[in-house]
């Protein structure tokens, strides 16, 4: 009797606990489902619209199959159970049933594969583009070269460091904003040549229906044609290292008139920025330019004050052996990173990526800046662009 009473008590406790959990579930974030959005981003191109439409078709086909299969199964389990007097029917090798459950799935697969194949072929048709852009993935930024126009630039994360460190409120586009977006005209087929300079990356802008792997040593192409003016955001979708989350993609689509104005401005800037690597720079000019290059490329790891970040293996540049050592050694480290076995500082072990993508003037100025900032006073304290040019391999 005691055992039965204890069992009933435990049973009532379990039911009460289950009821309490069920009542509290709507209050749990993620279970309440406050946001019912379940589809892709709003399409900004014809390919993206086709992808969304195909996804919806396949989804509802799967829903119908799910209801049909499980509905039949549960109907058979409930209506033909032993407790209501049904007996199991013995049968073997029913040819009609086997033909039906082979032919129907085959037809369903053909019905699904036909539009999917047509869409995949359309996604890879890069013929007759209106313009061509070369995209290069770096650890951890993107390089955009306008092949037909003869200029290019880097696109890096512009989210303030204070937001990343939770010292300021997050922007609505947190970690999805850059200093230099890729700018293209509306209603123009853009062929994108994708490659990488170091490791695998992936250039992915979902609203434009474009994704392509970036592989070192290979150039692969894809395309998109935006049909709406606006800003489209994406990210590198290949795990490419510790800063993988910090290399967003922003494509700004302008009207054709606005794009023509932007293009003229960029060509003018590119012409004015063309710098002679054989020019001899003064210390003050090198430091001023070097600070800009450092803040735009190096400060994310080494911090603006040069104190480094041990959590991610970025050494302090204040008093660093390489920074205070021979110029040629530091040039080699900045140009080639650790691919040749060089470590930025004794025993630090943090990975230093190659910065060959920077110009000779940029590298010379940023090295000169690190050798003469935060109390550093290297014996050979400045580097000229011609020295960097001579060290390139």
Show the tokens assigned to 380.
């050979």
Q: What residues make up the domain containing 240?
A: 131-273
pLDDT per residue as tens digits for the range 24-60: 544 444 444 445 566 788 899 999 999 999 999 999 9
Residue 27 within any structural domain of the chain? no
Residue 151 within any structural domain of the chain? yes
Residue 384 within any structural domain of the chain? yes
**Whether residue 192 sits in one domain with residue 258:** yes
As a residue count, the chain comes to 393
Show the tokens assigned to 298.
């190096």
Residue 62 within any structural domain of the chain? yes
pLDDT per residue as tens digits for the range 5-31: 444 555 555 555 555 555 554 444 444
Distance CA 21, CA 23 (A): 5
**Whether residue 344 sits in one domain with residue 248:** no
N-term to C-term CA, the chain: 89
**Whether residue 267 sits in one domain with residue 251:** yes
Instruction: Tell me which of 255, 273, 291 is where a domain ends.
Output: 273
**Whether residue 242 sits in one domain with residue 308:** no
Instruction: Tell me which of 273, 298, 331 is where a domain ends.
Output: 273
**Whether residue 60 sits in one domain with residue 141:** no
Residue 141 within any structural domain of the chain? yes
Distance CA 174, CA 165 (A): 12
pLDDT per residue as tens digits for the range 184-209: 999 999 999 999 988 999 999 999 99
Cβ atoms of 321 and 346 within 8 Å: the answer is: yes
**Whether residue 210 sits in one domain with residue 245:** yes
Residue 208 within any structural domain of the chain? yes
pLDDT per residue as tens digits for the range 142-190: 999 998 888 888 899 988 888 888 888 888 889 999 989 999 999 999 9
Query: How many domains are contained in the chain?
Result: 3
CA distance to 14, 24, 304, per residue, from 20 (Å)? 10, 6, 52
Predicted confidence (pLDDT) at residue 354 exceeds the cutoff of 80: no
């Amino acid at each position: 009797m005691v055992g039965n009473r204890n069992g009933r008590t435990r049973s009532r406790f379990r039911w009460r606990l289950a009821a309490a959990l069920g009542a509290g579930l709507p209050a749990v974030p993620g279970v309440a489902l406050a946001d019912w959005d379940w589809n892709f981003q709003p399409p900004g191109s014809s390919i993206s619209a086709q992808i969304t439409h195909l996804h919806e078709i396949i989804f509802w086909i799967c829903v119908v199959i799910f209801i049909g299969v499980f509905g039949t199964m549960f109907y058979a389990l409930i209506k033909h159970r032993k407790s209501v007097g049904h007996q199991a029917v013995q049968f073997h090798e029913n040819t009609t049933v086997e033909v039906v459950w082979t032919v129907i799935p085959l037809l369903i697969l053909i019905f699904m594969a036909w539009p999917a194949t047509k869409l995949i072929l359309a996604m890879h048709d890069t013929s007759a583009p209106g313009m061509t852009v070369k995209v290069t993935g770096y650890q951890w930024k993107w390089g955009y070269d306008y092949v037909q126009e003869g200029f290019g630039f880097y696109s890096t994360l512009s989210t303030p460091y204070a937001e990343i460190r939770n010292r300021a409120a997050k922007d609505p586009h947190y970690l999805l904003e850059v200093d230099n977006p890729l700018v293209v005209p509306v209603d123009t087929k853009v062929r994108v040549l994708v490659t990488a300079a170091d490791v695998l990356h992936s250039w992915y802008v979902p609203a434009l229906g474009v994704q392509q792997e970036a592989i070192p040593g290979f150039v692969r192409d894809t395309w998109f044609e935006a049909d709406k003016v606006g800003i489209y955001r994406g990210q590198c979708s290949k795990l490419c290292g510790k800063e993988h989350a910090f290399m967003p993609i922003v494509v700004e689509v302008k009207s054709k008139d606005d794009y023509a104005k932007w293009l003229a401005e960029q060509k003018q800037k590119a012409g004015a920025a063309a710098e002679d690597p054989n020019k001899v720079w003064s210390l003050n000019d090198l430091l001023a330019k070097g600070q800009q290059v450092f803040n735009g490329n190096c400060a994310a790891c080494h911090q603006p004050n040069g104190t480094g970040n041990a959590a991610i293996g970025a050494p302090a540049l204040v008093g660093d052996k390489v920074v205070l050592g021979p110029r040629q050694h530091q040039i080699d480290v900045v140009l080639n990173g650790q691919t040749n076995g060089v470590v930025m500082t004794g025993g630090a072990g943090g990975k230093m990526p190659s910065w060959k993508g920077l110009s000779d003037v940029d590298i010379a100025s940023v090295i000169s800046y690190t050798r003469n900032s935060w109390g550093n006073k290297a014996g050979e304290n400045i580097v000229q662009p011609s020295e960097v040019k001579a060290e390139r391999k």
